[in-house]
Chain A
Amino acid sequence: QQPVQSPQAVILREGEDAVINCSSSKALYSVHWYRQKHGEAPVFLMILLKGGEQKGHDKISASFNEKKQQSSLYLTASQLSYSGTYFCGTGVGGSARQLTFGSGTQLTVLP
């Protein structure tokens, strides 16, 4: 079953913060975050694993709430380059290799 992402779209000004959520009805083992720019392939951002710590690099970080089967992606002091569609991909079970992707959140950063 496909994870649910919210919001579907967000528009913000350069320097503002944003949060994107990803929820699943299944017990998750891993959550992946990818960003896709228009006309390009999805690009990996980070993985969060069950029992793992919050991850982050630069001004993008993410958390994984195992009790709620929910992950959140935090974009701090957004830059124009952050614009794109963000997808979460969820994995069920440590041996599971395939991911189920959410429908995406379209993020637009304006100058």
Chain B
Amino acid sequence: DAGVIQSPRHEVTEMGQEVTLRCKPISGHNSLFWYRQTMMRGLELLIYFNNNVPIDDSGMPEDRFSAKMPNASFSTLKIQPSEPRDSAVYFCASSLGGGLYEQYFGPGTRLTVT
């Protein structure tokens, strides 16, 4: 298996622009997680899906952030409009069932908003 796939790996954009991050989970995994990692705040859970349904989005910082999972093999995280404080590494992870199973992380997307 190729593991969790994320694209793009690097994104540089200007403040106010829309940013879309993409994730393909491991086939057969039914839980998908979006994390944001910064030096100041560490690894934060933004949202997670179970069987394509958003279960907990309490970590989404504000309405500028939205996430979708239209099918079992694809998810997006969108930021509109982007701001410099959104600069971070965004990880997508998938697992077989959540708390009782290991999470497999994708390589991450390094986002820089200028």
Contact = CB atoms under 8 A, between A and B. Distances in A.
B43 A101 contact: yes
Interface in A35-60: 40-44, 47, 49
Nearest to B42: A103
Q: How large is the interface on B (under 10, 10 to 19, 20 to 34, 35 or more residues)?
A: 20 to 34
Q: Of A41, A47, A87, A101, which is in contact with the most chain B CB atoms at under 10 Å from its CB?
A: A41
B102 A97 contact: no
B43 A32 contact: no
Most buried by B among A30, A87, A97: A97
Given A30-B99, A98-B56, 4 more contacts: A30-B100, A47-B100, A89-B103, A97-B97
Interface of B: 31, 33, 42-45, 48, 50, 55-56, 91, 95, 97-108
